[in-house]
Amino acid sequence: MPNLQCHATIHMSMQFQFLKRFSTASLIGSALVGLNACKSDDPWNEERFEKLVSQSSATPWTLDKDKDAPQDAKGRAETEAEKQFQALPKDGPNTLPTLVEFALENNPTTRGEWQKAKSRAAQLGRIESLYLPTLSASGFGGYVQQIGYINTERFRNTGPMMQGSLNLAWILVDFGRRDAQTESARRALMASNYSFNRGIQKVIFEVQDAYFSVDAKIALQETAEQNLETARVQLEAVEDRLIVGLATRPEMLLAKQQFTQAQFALEASSSATFDAQSTLARRVGLSAETEIKITSLQRLALPEDMSAQVDELIRTSIRGRPDLLAAVERVRGADADIKLAEAQFLPIVNAGAMVGQTRFWYDGRTSLGDPTTNQNFWGPEYSAGLNGSWLLFDGFERTNAVRQARADRAVAAADLEKMRLEATSEVWDSYFVHLAAIKQFAFGESLLKASQDSYDSVFESYVNGLSNINNVLTAESALFTARSTLIRTRAELLASAAKLAFAVGSPEDTSRWTRKSNVASKSASTPPSE
Name the domain boundary from 389, 418, 452.
389
Say yes or no: 167 and 200 in one domain: no
- Chain segment 410-435, per-residue pLDDT in tens: 999 999 999 999 999 999 999 999 98
| pLDDT, position 371 | 56
- Indicate if 411 and 371 belong to the same structural domain: no
Same domain assignment for residues 353 and 484: no
Q: Say what the pLDDT of residue 246 is.
A: 75
pLDDT value, residue 29: 38
Shared domain for 457 and 379, answered yes or no, is no
- Residues 367, 325 share a domain: no
Evaluate whether residue 297 is within a structural domain.
no
Q: What is the CATH number of the domain that holds 402?
A: 1.20.1600.10
Residue 412 is predicted with a pLDDT of 95
CA 50 to CA 105: how far, in whole Å?
10
Residue 123 lies in a domain: no
Q: What is the dihedral of CA 205, 207, 208, 210, to 10 degrees?
A: 120
3-state secondary structure 424-488: HHHHHHHHHHHHHHHHHHHHHHHHHHHHHHHHHHHHHHHHCCCCCHHHHHHHHHHHHHHHHHHHH
Of 307, 306, 296, 302, the C-alpha closest to 517 is 302
* Residue 343 within a domain: no
Question: Is 426 a domain residue?
Answer: yes
Model pLDDT, residue 342: 95
431 and 367 share one domain: no
- 418 and 504 both lie in a single domain: yes
Query: According to the model, what pLDDT value does residue 502 have?
Result: 92
169 and 142 within one domain: yes
Residue 121 in any domain: the answer is: no
Domain count, the chain: 2
384 and 434 share a domain?
A: no
Co-location of 204 and 271 in the same domain? yes
3-state secondary structure of 192: helix
| Burial class of residue 51, CB neighbours in 10 A (0-12, 13-18, 19+) | exposed
Q: Clarify whether residues 89 and 214 are in a common domain.
A: yes
pLDDT for the residue 162:
86
Q: pLDDT value at position 76?
A: 38
Give the Cα separation of 274 and 280 in Å (integer). 10
The tens place of each residue's pLDDT in the chain, 530 residues long, gives 333 333 333 233 323 332 333 233 333 333 333 333 333 333 333 343 344 333 333 332 222 333 333 334 334 333 444 444 445 655 668 888 888 888 888 778 777 888 888 888 888 888 888 899 999 999 888 887 777 666 666 666 677 878 888 999 999 999 999 999 999 999 999 999 898 899 889 999 999 999 999 999 998 998 899 889 888 888 888 888 788 877 778 888 888 888 898 899 899 989 999 999 999 988 888 888 888 888 888 777 776 655 568 888 888 898 889 999 999 999 999 999 999 999 999 999 999 999 988 876 666 655 555 555 556 667 788 889 899 999 999 999 999 999 999 999 999 999 999 999 999 999 999 999 998 998 899 999 999 999 999 988 988 887 787 878 788 888 888 988 899 999 999 989 989 988 999 999 864 433 333 333 333 333 333 322 33
**What is the pLDDT at residue 516?**
37
Q: How far, in Å, are 9, 19, 112 from residue 49 at the CA level?
A: 7, 18, 13
- Residue 124 in any domain: the answer is no
Instruction: With respect to residue 55, please indicate whether it lies within any of the assigned structural domains.
Output: yes
Output the pLDDT for position 359: 74
Whether 111 is in a domain gets the answer: no
Output the CA torsion 132→133→135→136 (10° steps).
100
Interstrand relation of 153-173 and 134-150 (parallel, antiparallel or unpaired): antiparallel
Q: Are residues 401 and 445 in the same domain?
A: yes
Range of the domain at 143: 129-173+348-389
